[in-house]
Amino acid sequence: MIYKRSSALFSAAQKVIPGGVNSPVRAFKAVGGDPIFVKEAKGAYLYDEDGNRLIDYINSWGPMILGHAHPAVVDAVIDKAKKGTSFGMPTEIETQIAALAVSMVPNIDKIRFVNSGTEACMSAVRLARGYTGKDKIIKFAGCYHGHSDSFLIQAGSGAVTFGSPNSPGVTQGTAQDTLLARYNDIAQVESIINSNKDEIACIIIEPVAGNMGCIPPTKSFLKGLRALCDIHNILLVFDEVMTGFRLAKGGAQELLGVDADIVTFGKVIGGGLPVGAFAAREEIMNHLAPLGPVYQAGTLSGNPLAMAAGLAMLTELNENPNIFKSLADKTEYLHKGIAKALKSHDVTNTINRVGSMISVHFAKDAVVDFDTAANGNNDTFKKFFHGMLDNGIYIAPSAFETWFITDALTYEDLDETIAAVYKVAGDL
Ligand code: HOZ
């Protein structure tokens, strides 16, 4: 494929934007080459600035669960835009989407909208600290909860891809309040809690990890966390930025049958516009200003265009609950096809999948935490990435990311993807 115009646009971008991108994960630094500039997208396909059509497995890193430019979402945004784009005053649609979200997700009575998953997680931790009166938090190596200071400690996603899991600029004082544990290792979490008695406000976790590639929790791990939180008066925060409204109507809480105290959202909840949210039981949420003392705010929070997109998206999902099963079926089909194709060429791999999230780890052993994810062969990943791209398939340009399946993908698209893996596997 030819990427002449993309490369020219990238050169121009680098002169005025650091690294030419507004979020590091978009750069191709981990795989080599220049990032591809998108012209437009529709359904399961991206169309780049050079006129190539690509089957999209990033889907804006998760939000486009119905495919790009879904008519219900686009129409809702256009309609709203004609009536004004921001007021900094309450609007009825905020209550409509809040009521719908609260009805779909277990264990939440109230929800507050913000502008990104980063803001949602940052605010959730402040709320947990304000509610419990404790300072420390536990996070897991390889989990990524956005780029706010408390979370850039052994962070996944772009932070690990670009070699700054502990970013400069995060003060020692902030870092010391974030305690680090291994994903899927309940004994280690228990020992950290015992060494920090009555100091831990919350445990924050991606209930299905998606920022070190996809890593499912073991059956007992999340239940073990719930039990420890109950015993030690710690709040369990599920970062459902990726899993929310994707794995089930009620997200990972519903799919995995474990209750969280605070849940954060991003991606799908905004239908592709900048939306995040955090939610909890009433007694916790009432600690937020203006009702309570924990301050959190935003001029563009609950923005009418963003709320219109989110409401249209959640309405579609709510009215078509079979969609989650259909997405999972497509993902399983893809999993089986890719596994067969890689096996046909004896390529070492481990494929992890939960619902409509899937990752191919080029690792020999089970991938259950950050260390086992990092054991994957990055050279193989690079070749795989570029081979797939040459065959019109766009996956994330890093081994530490998840593929997101969209409802717009047909079984023909999946077959085209699997056929590409057969072609590429011979060169891995
Ligand atoms: N969680 C997303 C990637 N894993 C974030 C995307 C971004 O940082 O741009």
Residue 91 is predicted with a pLDDT of 98
Confidence of residue 242 (pLDDT cuts 50, 70, 90): very high
Question: How confident is the model over 108-156, as pLDDT tens digits?
Answer: 999 999 999 999 999 999 999 999 999 999 999 999 999 999 999 888 8
Out of 56, 177, 239, 413, pick the active-site residue. Answer: 239
Q: 21, 25, 269: which to mutate for ligand 1, most atoms within 8 A of CB?
A: 25
| pLDDT beyond 80 at 417 | yes
What's the burial of 88, exposed, middle or buried (CB within 10 Å: 0-12/13-18/19+)? exposed
From the CB of 404, is ligand 1 less than 6 Å away? no
From the CB of 142, is ligand 1 less than 6 Å away? no
Confidence of residue 105 (pLDDT cuts 50, 70, 90): very high
Residue 160 is predicted with a pLDDT of 83
From the CB of 304, is ligand 1 less than 6 Å away? no
Residue 241 is predicted with a pLDDT of 98
Out of 29, 110, 249, 267, pick the active-site residue. Answer: 267
Q: Do 252 and 207 form a contact (C-beta atoms < 8 A)?
A: yes
Q: Please state the rounded mean pLDDT for residues 295-321.
A: 97
Out of 144, 330, 394, 413, pick the active-site residue. Answer: 144
Considering only residues 226 and 164, tell me which one the structure prediction assigns the higher pLDDT. 226
Ligand 1 centroid to 214 CA: how many Å? 13
Q: Is 144 a catalytic residue?
A: yes
Atom of ligand 1 nearest to the CA of 210: 4
Ligand 1 centroid to 157 CA: how many Å? 6
Question: How confident is the model over 68-96, as pLDDT tens digits?
Answer: 999 999 999 999 999 999 999 999 999 99
Of all residues in the chain, the percent with pLDDT exceeding 70 is 100
Which of 7-16, 53-62, 172-181, 383-392 shows the lowest per-residue confidence on average (mean pLDDT)? 172-181
From the CB of 401, is ligand 1 less than 6 Å away? yes
Of all residues in the chain, the percent with pLDDT exceeding 90 is 93
Atom of ligand 1 nearest to the CA of 401: 4
Confidence of residue 219 (pLDDT cuts 50, 70, 90): confident
Residue 400 is predicted with a pLDDT of 96
Question: How confident is the model over 163-176, as pLDDT tens digits?
Answer: 778 889 998 888 89
Residue 159 is predicted with a pLDDT of 82
Ligand 1 centroid to 77 CA: how many Å? 23
From the CB of 25, is ligand 1 less than 6 Å away? yes
From the CB of 211, is ligand 1 less than 6 Å away? yes
Q: Please state the rounded mean pLDDT for residues 43-61.
A: 98
Confidence of residue 396 (pLDDT cuts 50, 70, 90): very high
Residue 1 is predicted with a pLDDT of 83
This prediction has a pTM of 0.97
The chain-wide mean pLDDT, for the chain, equals 97
Atom of ligand 1 nearest to the CA of 241: 1
Residue 158 is predicted with a pLDDT of 86
Confidence of residue 104 (pLDDT cuts 50, 70, 90): very high
Question: How confident is the model over 343-369, as pLDDT tens digits?
Answer: 999 999 999 999 999 999 999 999 999
